[in-house]
Amino acid sequence: MTEHLRKYWPSGLTGLVIKAAFHSDLDVAREAWRSWQEQCDFDNTFWGDVRIASLAYRRLGGARDAKSLEPRLDGLRRYIWSTGKMRTRAALPLLRK
C-alpha cells in the first residue's frame, strides 16, 4: 500500500477485525481474531466492527476461542439478515416501478 493511502486504512481494533474477516492467509486471520477478542470490549465497540466480527466468526468456522461470544454473534447475524430482508421487502414497490 502506498504511503499516501495508508492514512485511510483502519487501524487499531477495526484493522484487526477486518484482517480477521478478509485476510487471505487463514493463520494471519486467526491471529488477528484472537488479538481482537483479547482487546475488544464487545459491549462498547463500534457497530461496524461488530458486524464485521460476525463475518470473521463465520469465516473462521466458529472459532473455538469465541465460545463466549457465539450466541451473540449468531444472534447478530440473524438480526442483520432479517433487517436486510425487511428493507428489501419495503423497497419492492419502488423496485417494481
Residue 94 vs residues 20, 74, 90: alpha-carbon distances, Å: 37, 31, 8
In this structure, are residues 56 and 20 in contact, taking their beta carbons and an 8 Å threshold? Answer: yes
Q: Calculate the average pLDDT of the chain.
A: 85
User: pTM to 2 decimals?
Assistant: 0.71
pLDDT at position 44 over 90: no
Task: Provide the pLDDT for residue 76.
Answer: 87
What mean pLDDT do residues 6-30 have? Answer: 88
